[in-house]
Amino acid sequence: MDTKLTLKLDKEIIERAKLYARSRGLSLSRVVEGYLLGLTRDEEPTSRKLTGTVAELAGILGGNEADGSKQAYADYLVRRYS
C-alpha cells in the first residue's frame, strides 16, 4: 500500500533528482522508494567460512568491512548530490 510522504529539500536537489528519475524512466517517488529500500534492507549474514586461496587473499587490499556498509554508501550519495 502506497502512503504519501512530504519532504522538505533544497530546490536545486529536487530538480536534479527529477532529471535523474526522468532520464531513467522513473518517478521521483520510485527513486526515493528504491533508495530507502536499499538503506533498510536486511543484509544477509556471511556465514560461509573462507578457504584456500580466497582465505589467503582476504584482506590483502587493506580495506575494512565498513567500506561496503549501507552507511558508507549513504555518505557517498550525500557527498555526490550535495
Tell me the C-alpha distance between 42 and 77, whole Å: 19
Q: What digits encode the pLDDT tens for the residues 25-76?
A: 999 999 999 988 888 887 655 566 777 777 777 766 665 555 557 777 777 7
Could you tell me the sign of the dihedral formed by the alpha carbons of 56, 61, 66, 67, in that order? negative
- Stretch 13-23: mean pLDDT: 94
Tell me the C-alpha distance between 19 and 76, whole Å: 19
> Locate cell 534492507: which residue?
41
